[in-house]
């Protein structure tokens, strides 16, 4: 009897437990959102971890996102399969520099559950980082420049090159030199001689155009024979920074080279010579010496340039700090303008200048009108102006190694002196 009762109790207990278990209700799944990773310009990676399926099969899962909080499956979402396995979601089609809210989701027969909400901001393209390459291969009409793009700012470089012009911060004339990062070379053509140009490299990506540092250069001038001269801007004037060395007028006609001293002394027509009649030694650095009759021709300098007038020399001196009163005077005038005009090398020891003007004057001496002999080389320099004082005399400028000032006077037109050309406005 006792055994039968015990068996009955056990059977009832088992039946009761089975009934209880069969009556347990299913729920929505439980899950968490995986931390955001690999955030880019228009994409990111997340996913979900399924804690429980809620007692029913998971029929859909993924992540949903929005630019507003609490995104749902009614917003943009991924579909990452079924079942209770953890999953990874690739979030794509995003906008740059935008904040998004993300939740993992899982759906079973009961409904849709969401994981915790996370937020992230997509990357944003910034301006490219680049430098401008300094000028090389400079001629009177062309130059080689360029740039180096070291960082694309997170976006594709769709255009690059160099902007250039005759005013600072140029944005009109430009070269186009491909795409992408790295070094590039730009050829500037169609330039004018003796002209200051400003240039800067540029790079364009989706954020806009950025620029490298700005540089400038001044083009040289080339004479009828192909001699190339450095130029310099002083005040509002553009000067040759070297002595003229042409043996032809700018109409391609020959200038007589007179070597005999007695003939030189008696000349009333154009002529030139080399210091001590030695072209090989002196031409390159010191240029030629011309009598004033060559200056008077009006075609000694390259086309578009001319021998400066006395007034233009005075304007140069005033630009270097000489007073108007001193500039109008004669003999030694000013303060330290001679130092500013003299080159830093090439004069006797202790007599070099600072050359802060860029004029780069050297002691080329002169050829005497009285003897026809080359004199003063290494000690002083003379430069003709185009201003005639009378039938016999013309005005010049002189620099001495042992004097800081500038000498102004007139001498006989048969004398041989250096010539600097100035650009015609």
Q: Do 278 and 365 touch, CB atoms closer than 8 A?
A: no
Report if residue 12 sits inside a domain: no
The domain spanning residue 145 has which CATH number?
Answer: 2.60.40.10
Length of the chain equals 425
Same domain, 165 and 226: no
What distance in Å separates the CA atoms of residue 267 and residue 144, rounded to the nearest whole number? 46
Same domain, 250 and 161: no
Per residue in 24-43, pLDDT tens?
Answer: 699 999 999 999 999 999 99
Same domain, 246 and 212: no
Same domain, 266 and 379: yes
Q: What per-residue confidence (pLDDT) applies to 396?
A: 98
- What torsion, rounded to 10 degrees, do the Cα atoms 103, 104, 106, 110 define? -30
Q: What per-residue confidence (pLDDT) applies to 9?
A: 38
Same domain, 136 and 235: no
Instruction: Give the number of domains in the chain.
Output: 3
Q: In which band, very low, low, confident or very high, does the pLDDT at 13 lie, cut at 50, 70 and 90? A: very low
**Which of 125, 44, 55 is closest to 88 using CA atoms?**
44
Q: Do 360 and 283 touch, CB atoms closer than 8 A?
A: no
Report if residue 80 sits inside a domain: yes
**Would you say residue 201 has pLDDT above 80?**
yes
Q: What per-residue confidence (pLDDT) applies to 23?
A: 52
Average pLDDT, the chain: 95
Q: What per-residue confidence (pLDDT) applies to 154?
A: 92
Report if residue 23 sits inside a domain: no
Same domain, 40 and 182: no
**Would you say residue 233 has pLDDT above 50?**
yes
What distance in Å separates the CA atoms of residue 347 and residue 341, rounded to the nearest whole number? 12
Task: From 86, 121, 156, give the residue that closes a domain.
Answer: 121
Per residue in 333-372, pLDDT tens?
Answer: 999 999 999 999 999 999 999 999 999 999 999 999 999 9
Same domain, 245 and 348: yes
Tokens 């849709």 belong to which residue?
A: 112
Whether this prediction's pTM lies above 0.85 is answered by no
Query: Percent of the chain at pLDDT above 70?
Result: 94
Per residue in 39-86, pLDDT tens?
Answer: 999 999 999 999 999 999 999 999 999 999 999 999 999 999 999 999
Same domain, 165 and 243: no
**Which of 97, 105, 102 is closest to 45 using CA atoms?**
102
Per residue in 253-292, pLDDT tens?
Answer: 999 999 999 999 999 999 999 999 999 999 999 999 999 9
Report if residue 354 sits inside a domain: yes
What distance in Å separates the CA atoms of residue 235 and residue 316, rounded to the nearest whole number? 7
**Would you say residue 2 has pLDDT above 90?**
no
Report if residue 195 sits inside a domain: yes
Same domain, 159 and 95: no
Interior angle at CA 375, CA 371 and CA 378, nearest 5: 175
Q: In which band, very low, low, confident or very high, does the pLDDT at 6 lie, cut at 50, 70 and 90? A: very low
Q: Do 299 and 188 touch, CB atoms closer than 8 A?
A: no
What distance in Å separates the CA atoms of residue 270 and residue 295, rounded to the nearest whole number? 8
Same domain, 198 and 160: yes
Residues 6 or more apart whose Cβ sits within 8 Å of residue 12 = none
**Would you say residue 296 has pLDDT above 60?**
yes
Q: Is 177 helix (H, G, I), strand (E, B) or coil?
A: coil
**Which of 238, 227, 244, 233 is closest to 299 using CA atoms?**
244
What distance in Å separates the CA atoms of residue 22 and residue 18, rounded to the nearest whole number? 6
Query: Percent of the chain at pLDDT above 90?
Result: 94
Task: From 121, 144, 159, give the residue that closes a domain.
Answer: 121
Same domain, 150 and 135: yes
Report if residue 163 sits inside a domain: yes
Same domain, 258 and 394: yes
Q: In which band, very low, low, confident or very high, does the pLDDT at 10 lie, cut at 50, 70 and 90? A: very low
Task: From 102, 121, 140, give the residue that closes a domain.
Answer: 121
Report if residue 4 sits inside a domain: no
Domain with 95, as residue range(s), is 30-121
Report if residue 332 sits inside a domain: yes
DSSP 255: P
């Amino acid at each position: 009897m006792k055994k039968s009762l015990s068996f009955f109790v056990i059977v009832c207990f088992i039946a009761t437990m089975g009934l209880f278990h069969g009556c347990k209700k299913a729920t929505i799944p439980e899950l968490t959102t995986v931390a955001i990773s690999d955030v880019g310009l228009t994409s990111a990676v997340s996913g979900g971890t399924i804690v429980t399926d809620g007692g029913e099969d998971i029929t859909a899962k993924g992540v949903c996102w929005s630019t507003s909080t609490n995104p749902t499956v009614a917003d943009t979402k991924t579909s990452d399969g079924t079942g209770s396995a953890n999953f990874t979601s690739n979030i794509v089609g995003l906008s740059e520099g935008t904040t998004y809210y993300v939740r993992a989701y899982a759906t079973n027969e009961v409904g849709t559950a969401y994981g915790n909400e996370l937020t992230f901001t997509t990357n944003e393209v910034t301006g490219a980082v680049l430098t401008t390459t300094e000028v090389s291969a400079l001629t009177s009409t062309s130059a080689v420049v360029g740039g180096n793009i070291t960082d694309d700012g997170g976006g594709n470089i769709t255009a690059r090159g160099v902007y250039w012009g005759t005013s600072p911060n140029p944005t009109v004339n430009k070269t186009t030199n491909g795409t992408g990062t790295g070094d590039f070379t730009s050829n500037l053509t169609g330039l004018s001689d003796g002209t200051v140009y400003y240039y800067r490299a540029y790079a364009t990506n989706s954020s806009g155009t950025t620029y490298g540092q700005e540089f400038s250069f001044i083009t040289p001038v080339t004479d009828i024979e192909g001699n190339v001269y450095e130029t310099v801007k002083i005040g509002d004037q553009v000067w040759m920074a070297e002595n003229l060395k042409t043996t032809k007028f700018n109409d391609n006609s020959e200038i007589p080279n007179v070597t005999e001293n007695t003939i030189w002394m008696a000349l009333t027509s154009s002529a030139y010579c080399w210091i001590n009649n030695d072209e090989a030694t002196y031409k390159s650095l010191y240029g030629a010496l011309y009598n004033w009759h060559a200056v008077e021709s009006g075609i000694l300098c390259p086309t578009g340039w001319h021998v400066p007038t006395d007034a233009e020399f005075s304007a140069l001196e005033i630009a270097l700090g000489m007073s108007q009163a001193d500039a109008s005077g004669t003999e030694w005038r000013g303060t330290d303008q001679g130092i500013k005009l003299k080159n830093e090398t090439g004069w006797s020891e202790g007599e070099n200048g600072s050359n802060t003007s860029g004029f780069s004057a050297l002691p080329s001496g002169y050829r005497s009108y009285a003897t026809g002999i080359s004199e003063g080389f290494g000690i002083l320099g003379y430069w003709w102006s185009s201003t005639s004082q009378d039938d016999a005399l013309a005005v010049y400028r002189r620099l001495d190694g042992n004097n800081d000032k500038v000498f102004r006077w007139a001498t006989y037109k048969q004398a041989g002196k250096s010539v600097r050309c100035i650009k015609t406005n």
